[in-house]
Every structure is written in structure tokens, then in C-alpha cells.
Structure 1
Amino acid sequence: MGGDSNKRKRSESDGGGEEQPPERKMEILPSMIKNKEKRSAVHAKLKQQKKLEKRKKAKARDAAEKRALELGEEPPAKKIPKTIENTREVDETVCKPDDEELFAGNDADEFSSILKRESNPKILITTCRFNSSRGPEFIKELLSVIPNATYYKRGTYDLKKIVEYANKKDFTSLIVVHTNRREPDALLIIGLPAGPTAHFKLSKLVLRKDIKNHGNPTSHEPELVLNNFTTRLGHRIGRLIQSLFPQEPNFRGRRVVTFHNQRDFIFFRHHRYIFEEKETKQIESKGKKTKDANAESGPNGKVIARLQECGPRFTLKLISLQHGTFDTKGGEYEWVHKPEMDTSRRRFFL
């Protein structure tokens, strides 16, 4: 009996004759450390290690490209990082270059006369009934951005009456700036005489005076840049925005107005581009930098282009697109944003 118990103890101490897997050391994360100083030190150490690994991979990649060029081979393909934009859900409404139906519709839509330069845009800008202090400042800057724009005070007039008045005076578009709690928060763009009506949420407004080192715009007609309006809905919104501006930009003014769509947010920017010529210094054989003023060809100059923001700066988010002019009761909507549409971060509509 005693011998059996000793054998049993030896077998238990040896693991029952079976090899046990080695114990894994549990990785200690910074968030698991209660001491603040120690936690920050571990976090800094991990951050430094990641930085060194990233630098090491970059050096290895550059060395592989250099080796391939020396051997006359093709360099290794660059990895494209996955983003929300390039992994968006497949959308059947994305426009294609060979879409004949789309181009045929462009010739017959509400904006064709302006975009074909058969008529010039004429814009009426007004406010909601209860205006704010920043509303007129924002409108003043919109007037400097959009040529042929006129401001009329809203007063107590109904919006339908304003649409009728604008049609009689041959305005091509109506822009209504809505304010809430003394801050512009929405933009209504109505195409005249027969629509459509686009309702945008307006956010992150920064006026010209609040932009550091801002420039002052001139009266030249600006260049218009529309980016990433890829679907049929985006194409229609892009043409609506395009109809606000003349189609003959004055390039000497060097003014650029940009509407950049990213993840269904339309970012507005207004810039002037400036060309500067800087002299480059010639380097002698001894390593001293001198200017060759007596050279026959003159000083060597390098032209540098830079942007100067003129403002304002804001972001638009499409809420609805309605057939015809503004009508809240009997209006027919082409597209309306609903909360149930936001089921995926990779689903976009513009």
C-alpha cells in the first residue's frame, strides 16, 4: 500500500507521465498598470518600440527599391492602406464614363442652360425670419465668394412669396441661410424657376476674420473645383452647386472655390494661389555658398506655389433633395436622409 502511494505521488509530481505545455507569460498592457508614472513609462517605451519598427520597415523597403533599380528589375509593389473610402460598399448608382443615359439627362436637366453658358447665374441670398449676429457676417462673405449674388432682407415674407418674387426678377437660384441659437446651422439652395431644392446641414463655420493669415478675395470670377461626387445623386448635387457660379473663370484672379466630398460631408474652402520666385544659392567646390550676381543668365530662381485661405470655411451635409421649389406639405422628394440609412460606416450616397 505504501509503495503504491509513493508511486502515485511520483507520477503526480511528474505530471502523470504526460508532458505539460509551457506556461505563457501574460502580456502586461499599460491600461492594466494602476500606478500612473509606471503606466506612462511603459506606454512611452511601447510607443518608441513601434516607432523603431516602423523606421526599420521603411529602411528595408527603400533598400529593396534601390536594389531593384540597380538590377533593372521592377520595384516591389507599394501597399495601399485600407481606408473607409476605398473599402466602401458597392453602389449601383456610381457614375461610369460610358453612361450614355447620364450624359443625355445632363442636356435636359434644370441646370443645362447655365452650364452650357446660354444664360448667366443670378443668385438671391436671404435669411430665415429670426436672424442672428453671425448670419449677416456669413452672408457678407458668401457675397464675396459667389459672383452675381444679391442679398435681400427676409422680413416677415413667406418663403413661397420670395420664390415668386425671385422668378419675376429672373433669378436663377435662391439661397436661404437658416440660423439657430445665433449660429448659422442650415443652408437651403433652391434652383429657379422649377427647382430642385436641396437642404443642407451647416456645421464647423469659421469666418474669414477667425482664419489665421487669411487673404482678401478679389472681384475676379473664381475657378470651381468639385471633388468626389461619384454617384448619380452626387452628380446632381454637384451640378446644382456648379449652377451657382459663372462658367468662365478669370484665371488671372487666382481664386479657387472648392467643394470636396468625403464620406458624404462636403467641405467648402476658398483660396488664392500665389506664385513666389526664390533665388537659389550656388555652391562652390569648397562648400561655401555664394550668389553668382555676374552670371550672364542672371540669378537662378525657383518658382514656389502656395495657397492663402480667404474664407469662410464650413461643412455641408445633405439632408434632403426635393423636386420643384420649396414645399413642406405637398412636395415630392428625390432623396431624404433617414437614421436607418446609417447602418454601415462604409455606405455613402454622394
Structure 2
Amino acid sequence: MPEASSQNERNIRLRKEYLYLKKVEEEKKKYVEKIKSIKKSYDENKKIKGDLKDEERELRKKMDLYDEKSYNRNLDDEYFFCGIENPRVLITTSRNPSSQLESFAKEMKLLIPNSEKINRGSYFIKDIINFARKNNITDVIIIHEYKGIPRNLIICHLPFGPTLFCTIKDCKMRHEFLDQINNISTCNPHLIFHNFNSDLGKRIMNIFKFLFPPVKMRINKRRFPKNKKQISILNNRRHQGVRKNEEEDEEEEGEDNDENDLTISIKNNEYYNMQKFENNRVIIFFNKNDIIYFRHYNWETNEKNEIVLNEVGPRFSFVVYKINKETLDSLNEDYEYVYRPFLNSKRALLS
């Protein structure tokens, strides 16, 4: 018991420290935005905003010391160390799930490598989060339904947050496709994110991006002579290799070379990189009017050496309606973003 209580006290202390650092980071961002606004007004010779007139004298002193690279370093970001180790994802559902929700959860497990699905049973969310922390789980995904249709998706990053809430729309699972589709590969997919340009869009992009491990890529490097535009390659199997073309030895090489020798030109005179990806799997997150469309493809090349996409499924779209700074077991009204349907904004928030 004393060990458990000390562990709980330590977790509470770490969570408070994390929330304090996030608060300091937000205040720093607001201060940087003020400096950028003052600097832009001076550079473009425009009028300073009315709410910054009282602070203009202090901000002008810091304006010359402003460095965008130093201020934009997210040292306290929750995903700063992602990529060192592969993420471990835990997938579960709401209580008493229907067969449709169970099949959707299984397809989500196939989508995300290094993920495991567990039955919810009668466990509370707090028990699931504690279990995930003890087993070094990085993210917990909980899927809810409405009348047998997957309707809500929650992604909770551990150990301290954030937690993303989104609504699932137009869900079409693999067994609902009329055409015959291929099996889902278990290799790490390539990720394509389109139109996530704002700070909120980049935040949402990171939450989804770090659910997947990085793609393994095999690179074969062949070294070629510098400052030489042409090299000769022998077709004979006994003599497989590369020989230099030198002006001094043109006569000797002319005697040795056969008629079947090939001559190719190299743009990069130092190295020629042969990149071979170990998979042909692509996942796309396409943002349009703050609605994120999810697509899953396998690609292959045809006879004309053109890339052809074959949809594998599932297919759905979702709308992010809330991002909380904390985890599911300790939610407070400390939101980074809340969707409001009557928000007076002409532009999209994610793009």
C-alpha cells in the first residue's frame, strides 16, 4: 500500500508539472504573436493594433532579439521523442458492443501496426488507462457507436495527454465493398496528410501521425567517379562492374570493349541512390472544410510504369470536435480546441 500511494503521488506531481509547462508554453506563444504583430507593423509601415499600443514600448525592445526558430522549438511537446521507439496502441470499444462495432474495431487493429484490441467487458475507463500505463502503451483508442453504427472515436495519448474526440461519418467497412478487395498488409504504411497548415491542423496531424511507426526504407548507394559524365557497363556476366572512361586510355579501352557495351549518363556524379521501399501501402488523411477524409490504398505499377491505387478499406470521414490537454481518467475543462457550429469564421480552422 505505501508503494502504491507513493506511485500515485508521483503521477499527480508529474501531471501537475506537465499542465504548468503547457500553460507557460501558451503564454509564451501569445507573447510571440504580439512581437510578430509589432514587427510586421514596423516592416510594412502600418498602424499598430489598438490593443498593443500600451505594450508597444516593451515589445519594441524585444523585437530585435526575436528569432523565429528559437521561439518555435517545442521542447515540451508530448510527441518530441516519438520516432525513437515504435508506438504501442491499445484499441477497445464501448460496453456491450454490437457485431458492427466489433468488426470495425478489428479493422482498426489491422490498420495500425503494433496495436492490440481488448474486449471492454465491465472495465471502467480509469482501469483501462492504468492498465495501459503499466504496460507502456503510448495511445489508447476507444470507439463508440449509435444504433449499431460506429459514431465516436477517442484517442488518448499517454502518459499525460492530449485527448482527441471526433465524430465518425459515412463509415464503409471492408465487407460492404461490392468489388473484391485485397487483404490488408501488416507492414508500416506511408502517410499522406493534405491541407493541415494551421497550428490546430498540425496539432491534429501529429496526433494521428504518431499512431503509426515510421516506414522502413532500404537504400542502396553506388559510388561513381567524380566529374565524369559517362561510364561504361559490360554486359558479360563474367565481368560485372563499372569501368572509368579516361581520355588517356581511350585506345586501350577501345580494344578491350566489345560491341555489346552500354553507355549511360549519371546526373549526380558522386552518388546514385537506389531507394526501395519495403511496402506498397498508403493511408491518406485529406482535410476539406474541416472534415477529414480517411482512405486506405495499396499501390502497384502497371505495364506503362504508372502507379495504380487499389482501395483496401475501410473508408470513413470524421470531424474533430474537442481536444483536451489531459488524459481520459483526469479530464478537466482545460481544452485546446472546442468545435462551435455557429463560429463566425470565414476561413477553415485546420487549413
| TM tier relative to shorter chain | 0.5 to 0.7
Give the aligned partner of residue 158 of structure 2.
192
Indicate yes or no: 2:284 matched with 1:258.
yes
Task: Describe the SS at the equivalent of 1:338.
Answer: coil
Indicate yes or no: 2:131 matched with 1:162.
no
Give the aligned partner of residue 182 of structure 1.
148
Radius of gyration: which is bigger?
1
Give the aligned partner of residue 322 of structure 2.
320
Does the CA contact (< 8 Å) of 1:270 and 1:312 recur in 2? yes
Q: Following the alignment from structure 1 to structure 2, what is the Cα–Cα distance between the partners of residues 249 and 134? A: 33
Q: Following the alignment from structure 1 to structure 2, what is the Cα–Cα distance between the partners of residues 99 and 162? A: 41
Query: 1:242 aligned to 209, 212, 220, which one?
Result: 209
- How far off is 1:165 after superposition? 0.9
Does the CA contact (< 8 Å) of 1:222 and 1:249 recur in 2? no
Give the aligned partner of residue 272 of structure 1.
298
Does the CA contact (< 8 Å) of 1:125 and 1:176 recur in 2? yes
Task: Describe the SS at the equivalent of 2:73.
Answer: helix
Normalising by structure 2, we get a TM-score of: 0.61
Give the aligned partner of residue 114 of structure 2.
148
Q: Following the alignment from structure 2 to structure 1, what is the Cα–Cα distance between the partners of residues 215 and 162? A: 24
Cα 1:329–1:195 change in 2 (3 A) is: closer
Does the CA contact (< 8 Å) of 1:275 and 1:305 recur in 2? yes
Where has structure 1 moved over 3 Å in runs of 4 or more? Answer: none
Indicate yes or no: 2:181 matched with 1:214.
yes
Indicate yes or no: 2:308 matched with 1:306.
yes
**Percentage identity across paired residues of the two chains:** 34
Deviations 1:259-318 (A, max 9, x none): 1111111111100001111xxxxxxxxxxxxxxxxxxxxxxxx32221000100010100
Deviations 1:5-28 (A, max 9, x none): xxxxxxxxxxxxxxxxxxxxxxxx
Indicate yes or no: 2:197 matched with 1:230.
yes
Aligned AA for 1:111?
Y
Q: Which stretches in structure 2 are left out of the alignment for 5+ residues? A: 1-32, 34-66, 218-276
Task: Describe the SS at the equivalent of 1:339.
Answer: coil
Cα 1:101–1:235 change in 2 (3 A) is: farther
Query: 2:69 aligned to 100, 105, 108, which one?
Result: 100
Q: Following the alignment from structure 1 to structure 2, what is the Cα–Cα distance between the partners of residues 267 and 256? A: 14
- How far off is 1:135 after superposition? 0.7
Query: 1:112 aligned to 80, 87, 90, which one?
Result: 80
> Alignment RMSD, CA only?
1.9
Task: Describe the SS at the equivalent of 1:241.
Answer: helix
- How far off is 1:249 after superposition? 4.1
Deviations 1:7-62 (A, max 9, x none): xxxxxxxxxxxxxxxxxxxxxxxxxxxxxxxxxxxxxxxxxxxxxxxxxxxxxxxx
- How far off is 1:140 after superposition? 1.2
Q: Following the alignment from structure 1 to structure 2, what is the Cα–Cα distance between the partners of residues 155 and 113? A: 33
Give the aligned partner of residue 340 of structure 1.
342
Q: Following the alignment from structure 1 to structure 2, what is the Cα–Cα distance between the partners of residues 328 and 168? A: 17
- How far off is 1:333 after superposition? 1.0
Does the CA contact (< 8 Å) of 1:323 and 1:331 recur in 2? no
Give the aligned partner of residue 50 of structure 1.
none
Range with bigger deviation, 213-222 or 302-311? 213-222
Cα 1:180–1:328 change in 2 (3 A) is: farther
Cα 1:318–1:109 change in 2 (3 A) is: same
Cα 1:320–1:217 change in 2 (3 A) is: same
Deviations 1:85-137 (A, max 9, x none): xxxxxxx9xxxxx95367401x43111211xx212100000001131221111
Aligned AA for 2:80?
S
Aligned AA for 1:332?
D
Aligned AA for 2:298?
R
Q: Following the alignment from structure 1 to structure 2, what is the Cα–Cα distance between the partners of residues 122 and 329? A: 22
